[in-house]
Amino acid sequence: MAETRRPKLAVWKFSSCDGCQLSLLDCELELLAVAEAVEIAYFLEATRTVGKGPYDLSLVEGSITTPHDVQRIGEVRRQSKLLVTIGACATAGGIQALRNFKDIKGFIDRVYAHPEYIEALATSTAIADHVTVDFELRGCPINKNQLLELLSALLNRRKPNIPTYAECIECKTRGTVCVMVAKGEPCLGPVVQAGCGNLCPAQGRGCYGCFGPLGNLPNTAALTAQFAAMGMDRRDIQRRFRSFNANAQAFRKESEAYDD
């Protein structure tokens, strides 16, 4: 019996920690099933086989930080029918986007003895700032269950069921007591997209924003006013918004309001 053609999957890496593509290998119980449902045509972290494009689905990890990246992402887009970005680096520029708020030259000088050997853009930016992206999977790192849901949905030509409500809702559905109300812990839950599985609040810790800003204009100003009322100083408030999703527009804007 002739095999029907399996969709070709490619996994691409730009500037990142490799944690999001590792999440695919972390699907231990489902990995072999995934590998049978698709043809893994390009996934350097897992195989030295390099299959030619075009690809049915490209997963893109990492942010754009070099002139070469800009060219390469254009080529990936041309070779891909669907392009999905995975993780905070790809969807918002990642932690390395902290350079966007500073002078890159100072950064290079601080880390490298020969700054002239280093080729880097002044900014770290999301993939969607450069090419059309069909779907974004948030998180630092992504949640592997969301990745499996996404793959399953795309293979079955349905819409992925990825909630875009606030992290607060995960506390409510899980029955986690609000850490901000009960313990006075600063928490980004009201302005951050759900998806991690309620990790920090369930450990008694305030959400620190791995999944980035809620889609529809999160009310960050109301939250920071509450932070201030709890006694946090301006620098601490700014630091909360300057982490893995610092360059996402809503967080960027809020943190810039605290530039003194």
The contact mask relative to another protein for 50-89 (x = CB under 8 A, - = no) is x--------------xx--x--------------------
The residue range among 41-49, 76-84, 146-154, 166-174 that interacts with another protein, by the rule CB under 8 A, is: 41-49
Look at residues 258, 209, 208, 206 and name the one whose alpha carbon lies nearest to residue 235.
258
Whichever of 24 and 84 has its CB closer to another protein, that residue is: 24
**Residue 46 touching another protein (CB under 8 A):** yes
- Rounded Cα distance between 233 and 93, Å, is 26
The residue range among 150-158, 163-171, 195-203, 216-224 that interacts with another protein, by the rule CB under 8 A, is: 195-203
- Rounded Cα distance between 83 and 75, Å, is 12
Q: Which two tokens stand for residue 78?
A: 């041309």
Options 9, 92, 210, 214; binder of another protein; rule CB under 8 A: 210
**Residue 96 touching another protein (CB under 8 A):** yes
Question: Is the peptide bond preceding residue 141 cis, with omega within 30 degrees of 0?
Answer: yes
How far does CA 179 lie from the centroid of its chain? 24
Whichever of 158 and 175 has its CB closer to another protein, that residue is: 175
User: What HEC string does 9-31 produce?
Assistant: EEEEECECCCHHHHHHHCCCCCH
| Closest distance to another protein from the beta carbon of 88 (Å) | 9
**Residue 99 touching another protein (CB under 8 A):** yes
